Structure 1
């Protein structure tokens, strides 16, 4: 038994389509990353060990979920979906929890970047055929 067998990979339920597994993985990764980022911000502001420990736990579970998700979906797809959701979540947390006000030009930049990332995520893949 290798040391890698001590923590088994997560398994998706039988019969779940790959797209559903990938989407669930993206949402879970974004939620865990948001929890870790929020814990880091709280620790930086209050220096309490509780947020730091919760953040470490969140990032440890994030790595486990990420590694497990790669059994079912492509690395680029899972990563891009996770990052897009994370960016939206961070902007919302900054706005709601910490009162960060962004000027209109930054909102335009956010929308443009999210649209470009959505295109990368959702656009059909180029054909892998070579010309004859």
Structure 2
């Protein structure tokens, strides 16, 4: 049996939830990067990296649900992932995003913060 990841229960909910969301987003972003690179170059190492990141993503997601609600963790993860994908596209692949895109990202980040803080009461 695979043990669940644990964060200290003495840490505030907001900190634990943010760590979980950031970890999920980072793993998902690694998987997205690996998929893009595998598609471009057909590198077996990128395929392996993508597969490992998705298995770890599932493990971290299941572990995060011990202390945070599904909606809170999922929304935060997706917001951070989208931010990461936009930055990765711009930095690595030269995709330009108009200013309104970054305004929308700011709104999503504010909504995420409200959701995380509001979920804790």
Calculate the TM-score normalised by the size of structure 2: 0.87
Name the structure 2 match of 1:35: 30
Q: Does 1:119 align with 2:102?
A: no
Q: How many residues align?
A: 118
Name the structure 1 match of 2:52: 57
Q: Distance in 2 between matches of 1:116 and 1:38?
A: 22
Name the structure 2 match of 1:93: 88
Name the structure 2 match of 1:3: none
Calculate the TM-score normalised by the size of structure 1: 0.80
Contact (CA 8 Å) 1:27, 1:82: kept in 2 or not? Answer: yes
> Which structure has the bigger radius of gyration?
1
Contact (CA 8 Å) 2:17, 2:68: kept in 1 or not? Answer: yes
Task: Give the gaps of 5 or more residues in structure 2.
Answer: none
- Shift in alpha-carbon separation, 1:29–1:118, aligned structure 2, 3 A: same
Q: Distance in 2 between matches of 1:53 and 1:71?
A: 28
SS of structure 1 residue aligned to 2:93? coil
Map Cα deviations across residues 64-122 of structure 1 (whole Å, 9 max, x no partner): 000100000111111111111111110111011011123x3xx3145235404632541
Question: If each structure's helix is expressed as a fraction of its own residues, which one has the higher value?
Answer: 2
**With CA pairs under 8 Å and 6+ residues apart, which has the higher RCO, 1 or 2?**
2
CA RMSD between the two structures:
2.0
Task: Give the gaps of 5 or more residues in structure 1.
Answer: 1-5, 127-132
Task: Report deviation, 1:31.
Answer: 0.5
